[in-house]
């Protein structure tokens, strides 16, 4: 065991954990802003209730996203000092911009939003949550541009003298087609996730409401208004999910084409394609032999991979064996093939779990069409609640595919992962911090989920009592610590 | 002036801004548990005084680190990998503290709040102390080889000068936070905070003066840092005097100037190095051998010139919105009836 291996595990654990909260922050900030806008425009009480209810859940999630994000800013330097030395000139710029342009916006206005319920005019207070939503989206763009640069490095030269990458064109880095394509894919997936969060919460409330006549806390009868509120919220969530889902599919298709162009090895591994083919088939199920580098079993759909990768049914798709040979010739001896098993399955799990949620949204909209209809079958509510963890897992598998598929590189074609790790940090040190982060994160996860459940069960009327008249400002609850 | 020098100054400004702002919320976090009985409204008053602003204060740290990464990649790399243990502890502390702020009030249970209060105390004391240790070591220099890999062990980092630095930042931030509480709260917390400020001063004045003198004599930048050191010492004493005389605005202004000039003096002492090596001075990192190329520095200068004023503007506005003193009534939304604390003792009426 080497420090390198544990440093990779640490990056995986801390980043995946961070990304459980990020998609919800991105999507829910927007959804809460929409709900509050509806309240601002119509003055209807259930919109205020929905804003504060989902706003509370959003804040519980937001806190975790913020604190686990700090780790990312330190981690490049702590565990990946050689990477930082090599890329800082290029990679540091979007990170600094993210902090200056996005994080300040997000953090200042979230404070104003939480504590400003009674201190700001309604319009200004509404603007605060919109600025938070803008901030989270801006932040996503900068960090994804930095990540896209690692997969498709542009706008730089390597200084012969220092051996470091130097930025030559920031517009190339920020306008990288891999950057905006990844942004669309990631952010639309975040909206799907947040949409399904609203769906899962609303489904739970409706189910307890109609099947048990309680709020989830045994014996506590839900107020009459709850049913209409959560039926409305369910539909809002379903619409969000389906609309964003269409964008996920469209941008995902573009991502596959970019992978074929910039990271053919990743695409080949994701499809367990060993030999270069014209009119390559899409693998439905492959059992591969990574020693002998072939698939004893491969159930395929003819020509589909070529179409996905190139837009033509008989287009050429490179196989891993051919690429390995070409890379060895170009970069020197070494293994340039990523972990095929992980990449192949994470690709399938990402697509399968993601599609499940989007398909469920389409079905759900059909089943809740009109003004009154609500599904009665238990299966609907179970499926709605399962769609949320499925969407979160789809996000995670997407990142596993992206990052594991890039191996053995940190910066594609420029810097190997093995050459990126901190030389001065011992195995024991990485092991200690890995154990520490895992323990703290595990504990906080239990606490966070517990709190979410508590507030879901308590319901909106716990936060915002049923008022006759919202114009009585002083009775709108304010948030404080 | 060369771009590398401008960026050294910019990084110093970001770090110093971070300590002036988060300094007082570290102090408030340290003192919160002493501002009222367990489970009392007074603790909430203390917490809510920094509620709307602590998160944005912490972004100064993220920006300082991000800017260091962009402008001086080698500094960022050697600093974070070289100070591995303190950085890890700071991270865990900041994680626990941030979550504690948000979650403490989200369950109505005394043990729940008690646990988060511990997290806030630990999460504030630890970074307040460790940042002093880290920055004292940066100024003093650490064992570092020709490849810019820091080889100093944890005991090396805990040398007397660094420990004094840690004690200085801890006591100074506590004083700064106490003075902030006297300015931003009313009622019993305001009274207790003044007492806490005078207690904190008993540690901050001697350790601060000694640390400043040691820095100036052993690592100082001569006449470049001497005025800063003198202003820092004067402002520190002035802050305590103003707190004594209940001039709350003045005392906060003075402690803010103290934090500002202490860190300005540290960065002034460091220049033109960014991380000196005690193994061989030739191995050290300086503004020229640690910096990015000119293109990045020029680009980042424009970004900073355009956006930093904007950030200062809206962050300043948020302080203006929450300018009123926090009281039991603003926190609970109702008139507070003073009751008993958890141990059944009547809460002091002060």
Structural domain boundaries, residue B125:
3-328
Q: How far is CA B91 from CA A66, A437, B72, in A?
A: 12, 9, 21
Whole-number Å distance between alpha carbons of B191 and B188 = 5
Is residue B350 situated within a structural domain?
Answer: no
Task: Please compute the mean of the pLDDT values over residues A286-297 and round it to a whole number.
Answer: 84
Note the pLDDT of residue A474: 57
The whole-angstrom distance between A62's CA and the closest CA on chain B is 9
B312 touches chain A (CB under 8 A): no
User: Are B299 and A429 an interchain contact pair (Cβ–Cβ within 8 Å)?
Assistant: no
3-state DSSP call for residue A153? coil
A95 touches chain B (CB under 8 A): yes
- Per-position pLDDT tens, chain B of length 350: 789 999 999 999 999 999 999 999 999 999 999 998 887 889 999 999 998 999 999 999 999 999 999 999 999 999 999 999 999 999 999 999 999 999 998 898 899 999 999 999 999 999 999 999 999 999 999 999 999 999 999 999 999 999 999 999 999 999 999 999 999 999 899 999 999 999 999 999 999 999 999 999 999 778 889 999 999 999 999 999 999 999 999 999 999 999 999 999 999 999 999 999 999 999 999 999 999 999 999 999 999 999 999 999 999 999 999 888 888 887 876 544 444 444 444 444 43
Is residue B343 situated within a structural domain?
Answer: no
**Other CB atoms within 10 A of residue A335 CB:** 10
B52: nearest CB among A64, A97, A115: A115
User: Are A96 and B106 an interchain contact pair (Cβ–Cβ within 8 Å)?
Assistant: no
B95: nearest CB among A159, A424, A440: A440
Tokens representing residue A143 in the block: 């960090």
Q: Looking at A42-46, A175-179, A223-227, B63-67, which range is the least confident one?
A: A223-227
Place of tokens 């890890």: B88
Tokens representing residue B284 in the block: 């050290």
A348 touches chain B (CB under 8 A): no
Whole-number Å distance between alpha carbons of B56 and B60 = 7
B320 touches chain A (CB under 8 A): no
A92: nearest CB among B47, B66, B314: B66
Confidence of residue A471 (pLDDT cuts 50, 70, 90): low
Taking Cα atoms as reference points, which of A474, A476, A479, A457 lies closest to residue A218? A457
A100 touches chain B (CB under 8 A): yes
Whole-number Å distance between alpha carbons of A47 and A170 = 43
**What sign results for the dihedral spanned by CA atoms B277, B280, B286, B290?**
negative
Domains of chain A by residue range? 3-263+392-475
Asked if A173 contacts A94 with a C-beta cutoff of 8 angstroms, the reply is yes
Is residue B247 situated within a structural domain?
Answer: yes
Whole-number Å distance between alpha carbons of A274 and A325 = 12
User: Into how many domains does chain B fold?
Assistant: 1
User: Are A93 and B94 an interchain contact pair (Cβ–Cβ within 8 Å)?
Assistant: no
Rg (CA), chain A: 24
Note the pLDDT of residue B334: 54
Candidates A82, A83, A88, A110: best to mutate against B (most CBs of B within 10 A) is: A88
With residue A282 as reference, give the H or E element that holds it: strand A282-289
A427 touches chain B (CB under 8 A): no
Tokens representing residue A415 in the block: 């810097």
* Average pLDDT score over chain A: 91
Q: How far is CA B272 from CA B6, B46, B265, B288, B298, in A?
A: 11, 41, 13, 8, 19
Is residue B163 situated within a structural domain?
Answer: yes
The whole-angstrom distance between B213's CA and the closest CA on chain A is 32
User: Number of A:B CB contacts under 8 A?
Assistant: 231
Whole-number Å distance between alpha carbons of A300 and A307 = 14
Note the pLDDT of residue B338: 42
Note the pLDDT of residue A429: 94
Is residue B336 situated within a structural domain?
Answer: no
User: Are A78 and B87 an interchain contact pair (Cβ–Cβ within 8 Å)?
Assistant: yes
The whole-angstrom distance between B200's CA and the closest CA on chain A is 26
Residues in A touching B299 (Cβ below 8 Å): 93, 167, 170
User: Are A77 and B47 an interchain contact pair (Cβ–Cβ within 8 Å)?
Assistant: no
Segment A17-33, tens digit of pLDDT: 999 999 999 999 999 99
Give the CA count within 13 Å in the CB-facing half-sphere of B231.
Answer: 17
Residue A4 scores a pLDDT above 90: yes
User: Are A436 and B56 an interchain contact pair (Cβ–Cβ within 8 Å)?
Assistant: no
Q: What angle do CA A93, A99, A104 make, to 5 degrees?
A: 150
Query: Higher-confidence residue: A212 or A205?
Result: A205
Q: What angle do CA A76, A323, A88 make, to 5 degrees?
A: 20
Residue A466 scores a pLDDT above 80: no
User: Are B69 and A91 an interchain contact pair (Cβ–Cβ within 8 Å)?
Assistant: yes
B295: nearest CB among A92, A114, A167: A167
Is residue B335 situated within a structural domain?
Answer: no
The whole-angstrom distance between B96's CA and the closest CA on chain A is 8
Note the pLDDT of residue A465: 65
With residue A277 as reference, give the H or E element that holds it: strand A277-278
Segment A355-400, tens digit of pLDDT: 999 999 999 999 988 887 888 888 999 999 999 999 999 999 999 9
Is residue B341 situated within a structural domain?
Answer: no
Please, which residues have CB within 8 angstroms of residue A194's CB and are 6 or more apart in sequence?
A: A23, A24, A26, A27, A28, A30, A31, A240
Task: Please compute the mean of the pLDDT values over residues A348-352 and round it to a whole number.
Answer: 94
The whole-angstrom distance between A371's CA and the closest CA on chain B is 35
């Amino acid at each position: 065991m080497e420090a390198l291996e544990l440093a990779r595990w640490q990056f995986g654990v801390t980043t995946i954990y961070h990304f459980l909260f990020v998609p919800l922050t991105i999507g829910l900030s927007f959804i809460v802003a929409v709900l509050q806008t509806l309240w601002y425009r119509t003055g209807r009480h259930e919109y205020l209730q929905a804003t504060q209810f989902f706003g509370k859940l959003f804040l519980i999630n937001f806190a975790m996203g913020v604190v686990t994000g700090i780790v990312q800013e330190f981690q490049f330097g702590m565990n990946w000092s050689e990477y930082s030395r090599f890329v800082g000139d290029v990679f540091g710029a979007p990170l600094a911009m993210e902090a200056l342009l996005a994080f300040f916006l997000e953090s200042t206005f979230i404070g104003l939003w939480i504590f400003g319920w009674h201190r700001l005019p309604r319009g200004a207070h509404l603007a605060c949550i919109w600025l938070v939503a803008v901030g989270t989206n801006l932040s996503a763009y900068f960090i994804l541009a930095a990540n896209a640069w690692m997969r498709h490095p542009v706008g730089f030269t390597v200084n012969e003298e220092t051996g470091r990458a130097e930025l030559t064109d920031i517009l190339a880095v920020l306008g990288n087609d891999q950057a905006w394509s990844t942004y669309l894919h990631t952010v639309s997936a975040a909206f799907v996730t947040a949409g399904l969060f609203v769906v899962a919460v609303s489904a739970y409330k409706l189910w307890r409401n109609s099947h048990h006549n309680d709020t989830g806390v045994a014996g506590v009868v839900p107020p009459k208004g709850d049913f209409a509120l959560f039926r409305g919220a369910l539909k809002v969530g379903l619409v969000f999910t389906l609309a964003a889902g269409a964008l996920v599919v469209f941008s995902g298709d573009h991502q596959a084409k970019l992978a074929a162009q910039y990271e053919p090895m990743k695409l080949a591994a994701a499809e367990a394609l060993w030999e270069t083919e014209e009119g390559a088939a899409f693998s439905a199920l492959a059992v591969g032999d990574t020693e002998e580098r072939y698939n004893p079993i491969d159930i395929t759909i003819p020509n589909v991979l070529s179409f996905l990768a190139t837009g033509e049914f008989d287009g050429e798709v490179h196989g891993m064996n051919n690429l390995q040979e070409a890379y060895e010739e170009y970069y020197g001896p070494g293994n340039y093939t990523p972990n095929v098993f992980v990449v192949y399955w994470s690709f399938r799990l990402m697509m399968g779990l993601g599609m499940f949620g989007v398909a469920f949204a389409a079905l759900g909209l059909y089943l809740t069409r009109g003004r009154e209809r609500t599904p009665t079958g238990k299966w609907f509510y179970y499926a709605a609640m399962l769609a949320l963890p499925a969407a979160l897992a789809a996000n995670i598998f997407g990142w596993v595919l992206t990052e594991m598929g890039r191996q053995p590189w940190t910066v594609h074609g420029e810097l190997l992962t093995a050459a990126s790790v901190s030389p001065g940090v011992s195995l024991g040190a990485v092991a200690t911090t890995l154990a520490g982060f895992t323990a703290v994160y595990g504990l906080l996860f239990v606490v966070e989920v517990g709190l979410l459940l508590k507030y879901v069960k308590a319901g909106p009327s716990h936060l915002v009592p049923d008022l006759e008249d919202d114009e009585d400002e002083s009775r709108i609850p304010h948030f404080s610590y | 002036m060369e771009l590398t020098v401008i960026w050294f100054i910019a990084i110093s400004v970001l770090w110093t801004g971070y300590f002036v702002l988060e300094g007082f919320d570290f102090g408030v976090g340290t003192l919160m548990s002493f501002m009222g009985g367990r489970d009392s409204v007074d603790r909430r008053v203390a917490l809510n005084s920094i509620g709307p602003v602590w998160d944005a204060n912490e972004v100064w740290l993220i920006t300082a680190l991000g800017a260091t990464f962009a402008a001086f990649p080698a500094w960022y790399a050697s600093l974070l990998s070289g100070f591995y243990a303190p950085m890890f502890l700071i991270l865990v502390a900041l994680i626990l503290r941030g979550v504690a702020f948000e979650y403490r009030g989200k369950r109505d249970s005394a043990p729940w709040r008690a646990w988060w209060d511990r997290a806030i105390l630990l999460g504030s004391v630890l970074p307040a102390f460790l940042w002093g240790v880290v920055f004292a070591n940066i100024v003093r220099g650490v064992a570092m080889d020709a490849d810019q890999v820091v080889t100093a062990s944890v005991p090396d980092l805990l040398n007397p000068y660094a420990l004094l630095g840690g004690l200085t930042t801890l006591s100074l931030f506590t004083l700064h936070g106490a003075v902030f509480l006297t300015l931003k709260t009313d009622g019993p917390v305001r009274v207790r905070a003044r007492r806490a400020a005078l207690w904190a001063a008993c540690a901050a004045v001697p350790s601060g003066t000694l640390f400043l003198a040691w820095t100036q004599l052993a690592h100082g930048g001569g006449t470049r840092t001497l005025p800063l050191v003198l202003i820092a010492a004067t402002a520190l004493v002035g802050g305590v005097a103003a707190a004594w005389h209940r001039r709350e605005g003045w005392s906060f202004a003075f402690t803010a100037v103290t934090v500002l000039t202490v860190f300005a003096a540290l960065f002034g002492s460091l220049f033109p190095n960014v991380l000196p090596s005690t193994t061989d001075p030739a191995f050290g990192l300086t503004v020229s051998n640690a910096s990015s190329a000119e293109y990045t520095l020029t680009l980042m200068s424009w970004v900073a010139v355009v956006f930093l004023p904007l950030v200062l503007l809206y962050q300043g506005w948020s302080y203006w919105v929450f300018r009123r003193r926090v009281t039991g009534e603003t926190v609970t939304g109702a008139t507070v009836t003073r009751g008993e604390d958890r141990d059944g003792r009547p809460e002091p009426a002060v």
